A and B are shown apart, each in its own frame.
Chain A
Amino acid sequence: MSERVVISPTSRQEGHAELVMDVDDEGIVTKGRYFSITPVRGLERMVTGKAPEFAPVMTQRICGVCPIPHTLASVEAMDDSLGIEIPKAARQLRELTLAAHTINSHAIHQFLIAPDVVPEELMVTAINSVSEIRKTVQMVVDIVAGEGIHPSDVRIGGMARNISEIARKRLYARCKQLKPKLDDHVELIIGLVADKGLPEGLGVTNAPTLATDVLYGDRENFDLDRFTEIMPESWYDDPEIGKRACSTIPLYDGRNVEVGPRARLATFGDFKDRGVVAQHVARAVEMKMALSKIIDLLAELDTSAPVMADFEINGTGKLGIGAIEGPRGMDVHMAQVENSKTQFYSCLVPTTWNIPTMGPATEGFHHEFGPHVIRAYDPCLSCATHVIVIDDEDRSILKDEMIRI
């Protein structure tokens, strides 16, 4: 007899989603469906018709968890649409910002999964380690991008300013000091995930991986012609779920894909493992890669070099693409600028790609492992949607109005 297990909302992730699993007599999942229940998305409408500079400022506010990838994807899309070639130092500063943010974001995720994998006696050690790492890498974002959460200095055409030599040396020293600590941390997390003894094959799917770059993002590797988007009604086999799901289903070559750290390592490296443990390991390994990239970039950076390109903001209506490898996967923003105004804007955010893949990944194992599978993707659903709460008491929200903006 088939039974249905529903977890709503799924916990220790950003945003609200629901996991619906059909299970057999032994509790084994036969059909998993994961969908966003964070309603309505209106940010693209808000930036349309406005000055192009407004888009990065607005879209970074999609979410406070990964504002950096959104800012970068937005300026990259605008740069592409306006045909801007940014100076080398600006590119280095952008890469620095993203690499530091990636470490920060991965560390937060490790904090979120700590109750699953960290034994009580090691909890304080693990959390202190996460805090220590975040403190240093957030300092990098603070200094390089002007602000740790919503960076003010990442601009269309480059960066608002270069950092000072004293700041460069200081960051270099701090990041060097962080290296042994981060190495220990990564070892600790990988060890603890292994000790947890999750069943072999948990979370393994056949979904192809999609990534554009090792760490930063490369629009050349994102082929818009291979991308399609369908409505949830035609994806989920349950019409009720199709109606309630709040995000569209993006497909690449007509298939759902996996994005994120494991996808990057599999696409650009020789990382063969799949499933929950592999995702945690890939995430941890990527922290080391990002830190060594930060150290290299800081060593190379010329703090007297220009960081802003000369450009005209008129635009030719070219569809610009900004592809950024955010901590949770590929974040693509598309923008079209003409007559100095944004004519079209669209965001294809990381977790949206993962949503159709995450449900089926729970299949074949006991439903108690469902949340582990979901968390391994580090889902962050806020990008998908935004609403304005009118009244906290009765929880009324702006819906239609939001869509019409």
Chain B
Amino acid sequence: MVLGTYKQITLARSTDKQIQKISQDGGIASALLCFALDEKIIDGAVVAGPSEKMWKPMPTVALTSDDILAAAGTKYTLSPNLWMLKEAVRQYGLEKVGIVTIPCQTMGLRKMQSYPIGVRFMADKIALDIGIFCTENFSFESLKTFIQAKAGVDFDLVEKMDIGKGKFWVHTADDVISFPIKETHGYEQNGCKVCLDLVSELSDVSTGSIGAPDDWSAVMTRTDSGETIFSKAVDAGLIETKPMDEGKFGLEMLTKLATSKKEKAMKVIDDRKAMGLPVPFKASNEKEGDPLANV
């Protein structure tokens, strides 16, 4: 089960032209949050919103569709969204919060809900967690450094970044530059090396571009609430779906990448454990059952 537990897996994209224009791929996170907000399934959401610095996201409490759309698109750097959760339920007084998380944050969120130490009365206020596929993440300075060095463009001129087909793509106003994703290794966060989760296994709905054609996203619904929201949005015509390609560029690729992330991470975990270093995961020989399980 390298993709975690899920109810259905499908390809999907937002039917909203505006979302399609600004979103990274299929615009699923934006579409679902806007829909959940309209349907009052959530009363606000914590998203990676814009900050004063270009490409440096800031955890933001979005209360309207406009706020959500302002946060559309992937930023390949850290946005500590969980940090904003408490403010969302305290100063903003939200009671049904939606949140977008990458896998490590999804794990943190679920842990926070299981052991609500320092976050009283918050666990029960999380209504929707949209997990994003993630292979690794970069600190802001790392991102800036390797883009300027590898793509040779000024960071301020970058209009879109993307990862796909084994390459890191940098779009500027009049150019598209790419370099092999391998060249970014060494710039990622240290924690990503021990991360066993590519697909946000613990989220309500997870989504990402891996295994999907251009401008579409792969979507996995995982919990009852995630499934309900997604199918309602599909029924409402806000999201269109088509079956996931089972083959080489579809499910097979997603499975392959998820497995290889787990295998690489497991090796680092085992090495670190052997040296007696603290790692928040079990070594492969400590696990009962699946040696690649996200535990």
**What is A's interface to B at a CB cutoff of 8 Å?**
139, 142-143, 146-149, 161-164, 166-168, 170-171
Do B121 and A166 touch across chains, with their CB atoms under 8 A apart?
A: no
A167 CA to B63 CA, complexed, in Å: 12
Within 8 A of A (CB), among B37-91: 43-44, 63, 90-91
Is B146 interfacial (CB 8 A cutoff)?
A: no
Residues of B contacting A139 in the complex (Cβ-Cβ under 8 angstroms): 121
Name the residue among A149, A166, A170, A171 with the largest chain B CB count within 10 angstroms.
A166
Looking at the complex, which one of A146, A149, A166 makes contact with B90 (CB distance below 8 Å)? Answer: A146
A162 to B, closest residue via Cβ: B91
- 3 nearest interchain CB pairs? A167-B93, A164-B92, A170-B93
Do A167 and B121 touch across chains, with their CB atoms under 8 A apart?
A: no
Nearest CB on A from B82, distance (A): 17
Residues of B contacting A162 in the complex (Cβ-Cβ under 8 angstroms): 91
Do B93 and A161 touch across chains, with their CB atoms under 8 A apart?
A: no
Is B128 interfacial (CB 8 A cutoff)?
A: no
B44 to A, closest residue via Cβ: A166
Do B93 and A164 touch across chains, with their CB atoms under 8 A apart?
A: yes
Could you pull out 6 A-B pairs where Cβ atoms are within 8 angstroms? Answer: A142-B90, A142-B121, A147-B120, A167-B93, A170-B93, A171-B93
Do B120 and A166 touch across chains, with their CB atoms under 8 A apart?
A: no
Q: Decide yes or no: A143 and B90 within 8 Å by CB, A148-B120, A148-B121 being known contacts.
A: yes
Is B33 interfacial (CB 8 A cutoff)?
A: no
B92 to A, closest residue via Cβ: A164
A139 CA to B95 CA, complexed, in Å: 11
Residues of B contacting A149 in the complex (Cβ-Cβ under 8 angstroms): 120
Is B99 interfacial (CB 8 A cutoff)?
A: no
A148 CA to B120 CA, complexed, in Å: 8
Do A167 and B120 touch across chains, with their CB atoms under 8 A apart?
A: no
Looking at the complex, which one of B43, B93, B95 makes contact with A163 (CB distance below 8 Å)? Answer: B93
A168 to B, closest residue via Cβ: B93
Q: 4 other contacts beyond A166-B44, A170-B95, with CB at 8 A cut-off?
A: A147-B120, A149-B120, A164-B92, A166-B93
A164 CA to B44 CA, complexed, in Å: 12
Residues of B contacting A168 in the complex (Cβ-Cβ under 8 angstroms): 93
The interface size of chain B toward A, counting residues with CB under 8 Å, comes to 11
Nearest CB on A from B33, distance (A): 17
Is B94 interfacial (CB 8 A cutoff)?
A: yes
A167 CA to B94 CA, complexed, in Å: 7
A162 CA to B90 CA, complexed, in Å: 11
Residues of A contacting B94 in the complex (Cβ-Cβ under 8 angstroms): 166
Do B91 and A146 touch across chains, with their CB atoms under 8 A apart?
A: yes
Residues of A contacting B120 in the complex (Cβ-Cβ under 8 angstroms): 142, 147-149
Do B121 and A143 touch across chains, with their CB atoms under 8 A apart?
A: no
A148 to B, closest residue via Cβ: B120
Within 8 A of A (CB), among B83-137: 90-95, 120-121
A163 CA to B93 CA, complexed, in Å: 8
A166 CA to B40 CA, complexed, in Å: 14
A161 CA to B93 CA, complexed, in Å: 13
Name the residue among A143, A168, A171 with the largest chain B CB count within 10 angstroms.
A143
A143 CA to B91 CA, complexed, in Å: 5
B88 to A, closest residue via Cβ: A164
Nearest CB on A from B153, distance (A): 39
Nearest CB on B from A173, distance (A): 11
B120 to A, closest residue via Cβ: A148
Nearest CB on A from B68, distance (A): 16
Do B91 and A163 touch across chains, with their CB atoms under 8 A apart?
A: yes
Mark contacts of B132-166 with chain A using CB atoms, 8 A cut-off: 1 yes-contact digit, 0 otherwise: 00000000000000000000000000000000000
Residues of B contacting A148 in the complex (Cβ-Cβ under 8 angstroms): 120-121
Nearest CB on B from A93, distance (A): 11
Within 8 A of A (CB), among B235-272: none
Residues of B contacting A170 in the complex (Cβ-Cβ under 8 angstroms): 93, 95
Looking at the complex, which one of A143, A146, A163, A166 makes contact with B63 (CB distance below 8 Å)? Answer: A166
Nearest CB on B from A159, distance (A): 10
Do A164 and B121 touch across chains, with their CB atoms under 8 A apart?
A: no
Residues of A contacting B95 in the complex (Cβ-Cβ under 8 angstroms): 170
Residues of B contacting A166 in the complex (Cβ-Cβ under 8 angstroms): 43-44, 63, 92-94
A95 CA to B44 CA, complexed, in Å: 28
A168 CA to B94 CA, complexed, in Å: 11
A161 CA to B43 CA, complexed, in Å: 21
Residues of A contacting B92 in the complex (Cβ-Cβ under 8 angstroms): 164, 166-167
Nearest CB on B from A284, distance (A): 26
A145 to B, closest residue via Cβ: B90
Nearest CB on B from A165, distance (A): 9
Residues of A contacting B44 in the complex (Cβ-Cβ under 8 angstroms): 166
Nearest CB on A from B89, distance (A): 8
A147 CA to B120 CA, complexed, in Å: 8
A76 CA to B204 CA, complexed, in Å: 46
Nearest CB on A from B235, distance (A): 29
Residues of B contacting A164 in the complex (Cβ-Cβ under 8 angstroms): 91-93
A171 to B, closest residue via Cβ: B93
A161 CA to B61 CA, complexed, in Å: 15
Nearest CB on A from B88, distance (A): 10
